[in-house]
Chains A and B, each alone.
Chain A
Amino acid sequence: MKDRAEVVIIGAGINGCALAYELAKRGKDVVVLEKHYICYGATGRCGAGIRQQWATKENALLAKKSVEIFERLSEELGYDIGLRQGGYLIAIHDEEEMRQAKKNVEMQRSIGLPVKIISPDEIKEIAPILDPEGMEAIAATFCPTDGHANPFKTTYAYARAAKKLGAKIYKFTEVKDIKVKDGKVEEVVTNRGKIKTKYVVNAAGAWSKEIAKMVGINMPNKPVRKEALVTEPIERLFDCMVISFKHGIYFSQQEEGQILGGIPSPEEKIGYYTEPTFSFLKHMAYMLGKYAPPLKHINILRQWTGFYDVTPDALPILGETNIEGFIQCNGFSGHGFMIAPMVAKLLAQLICQEKLDMPIDRLSMERFKGKITKEKAVVG
C-alpha cells in the first residue's frame, strides 16, 4: 500500500468511486480506502432509481445535472452502466398532496424539467398494470427523463476508469483514525498501514458519522434501516418507476425483467441490524398487489436490508469543514446514487480549486446552525 497521496477517499460506494474518477481525470494522485469491497454499502443495496422531481431546488438541480452526465457516462467510461429512462410516476393521493405537487412542478419546470401532472386515465396509459383505485391516486406527476441505472455496473465503471487513470483502490482496508495537526489533516491510519495526505474525503455512507468523529466533528446524520425485495424476472410490463410519498412505496421493473422495490416496514425497529423482517415482506407484497394487481402472481426471490444516511433536512452534506483538508461527501439520505455524478464533479472542482458549476456552500454543515428547509419529496 502507498504511504502518501494527495487525496484519500474513505468508502468505495458510488460517491467514493465517482469522485476518485473525477480527481484522477484532473491529474490528482488519489487513493480510495474501503473496509469491505466495492458496493458493500448502500450502493450495493439500493434501488438505483434516478429522479429529478424534487421539492428543493438543490436536489432537483443536482439530479438534473447528474442525468446529463448519466446520459453520456457509458461512453465516457467505456463500460455500459445499464441506464434506462422510463420516467418516474409519483402518485398524488389527496388535495394537500396536489397543492405541494403543483408547487414542485412549477419549480421543476422552471429549471427545464419536462414534468407534468397526469390523470388516473393517463396513469393507466403509461403503465397499464397499475390500478389507480388500488393506489388511491387522484392523479400523478410524471417526468419521462427520470429512470434507473445498474448500481453495480455504474460503480465498477467509475472504479475501473479511475484505476486506469492511476487511482488506487484498496479493498479490505479499514480506516481506524485520522491524525490532525494544527487544524489540518495530516495522516490516515488503517489496519494495513498509514497514508500521509493533504485531503481526506468522508464518503463512508451510513458510517460517515464515525469517520467525522475521528477529527472531532459531530454530525447530525442518522443511519436508518431500509428493506427491499426483488422478484423473479418476467416479460417487460412497464418502464417507469412508481412511487408514493404517502405510502412510502417505490418499485420498478429492472433491466433483466425483475420487479425491485421497497416500503417502510410497519414494525420498524431503530438500530443497526440487518436481519430481514417478515413484516416488511408481508406489507410490501400487500401494497404491490394493490398498486399493480397482476403482480400478485409472480414470485419473490429475495429481500435484504441497507441503510440510509439521513440528515435532518434530507439534503446531503458536502464540502469543506473547520478542519482544513477534511471534505464531507455524505448525508445522502435516500438518494445518493442519482446525484453522485454531479456531486463528484463539484467536489473534484472544489479540491482542484476550479470554478464550481454550481455553488455548494448551502450544503455544508454550517446550515444546521440556522433554520433548515426540509426536503419534502422523500420516499420511505
Chain B
Amino acid sequence: MSNRVINLLVPVISIILGLIVGAIVMIFSGYDPVTAYIALWNGIFGDAYAIGETIRQISPYILAGLAVAFAFRAGLFNIGVEGQLIVGWFAAAYVGSAFDLPKIIHLPFALIAAALAGALWGLVPGILKAALRVHEVIVTIMMNYIALHVVNALIKTVSGSYKTEKIHETASLRSEFLSNITDYSTLHYGILVALAMVGVMWFLLDKTKTGYELKSVGFNEHASQYAGMNVNRNIVLSMVISGAFAGLAGSMEALGTFGYLANLGGFTGIGFDGIAVALLGANTPLGVIFGASLFGSLKYGAGNMPNEAGVPTEIVSIIIALIIFFVASGYIIRVILNRVNKKKGAK
C-alpha cells in the first residue's frame, strides 16, 4: 500500500468503525440501526433539498475550522472562535439592517464588518499574550462569555427587541439560483465565501513572507527570534487573522441562513466544533474542507434520524460523537495499517 492509499483509507475505515460502534449502541438501546442509518443518509444526501441544506451547514464550519487551524499553525490555541463568531454575526446583522446601500457595496461592507469584529475579538487575547504572556486559552475562553452577553445587550439596545431587524436584501447572501436548483433549500452564496477563504489561508501560509514567519514562530519561537522575526507582532497578527475567519463564520448566519440575530440563550457550538474540524483536517486548508464536510453533514443529516427512524436525539448525539471520535483517532488506524503493511512487505 502506498502512503496515498493509506491516507485515503484511514478516514474511510474510521467512519465505518464509528458506524459499527454506533450500531451496537442502538441495538442495545432497542433501535434498528439499519433504518436509523438510512435516515441519516437520506438526511444528508436524500434529495436535492437535503444536499442544499447540508452544504449550507458546512459553510460556517469551514470558516470556524480555518480560524482554529490558522492560529494553530502559528502555535496558538484559539478557543475563542465561538465568541469571535458571535460578534461577527452581530456586526453583519447590524450593518446589513442599518444601512441602505447598493448591493455591490452593502454586501462586501457587511462581510468586512463581520471579519473586523471577529478580528477585534482576536486582537485582545493576541495583545495580552504578546505583551504580558497571558495564556491565550484563558483569555479566549473568557472573551467568549463577554461576546455572548455584550451581543445580547447590544441587540436590545440597538433594536429594542429580542432580535435585530432583518437585513436588507442588498446585504443578503441568499441566492434564488442556488435555492432553486436545490428544491428551495436555504443554500446561499456563503459556501463560495468559505471556499474563497480556504484559498486565502493556503495563499497566506504557503506563498507569503508573512506565512513563512507565522509558521516559523509557531514551530520554534526561539529560532524565529534569533532570525530577527518580531515574535510578538506575529502572535498578534495570527490572532487577528484567525478572528477574522471566525467573524466571517458568523456572517454566514447573519447574511445567509437567518438574516438576523436573535437573543442567544447560549453558545452556538459552531466555534467549538471548529476545533474538532481543524484537528480532523490536520490544520491544513484542504483538510478543513474535509473536516467541515463531515461535521456539517452529520450535524444536519442527524436531524432526520428522530423523524424517520424514531431514534431519540440523545442517542443521535452519541452516535455522531462516536463517528467523530473514531475519525479523530485515525492515528491508531494508521499505525495498524502500517503494521499490516510491514508484515506483508517482510514476507
Q: Do A and B bind each other?
A: no
- Residues of A that sit less than 8 Å from B by CB: none
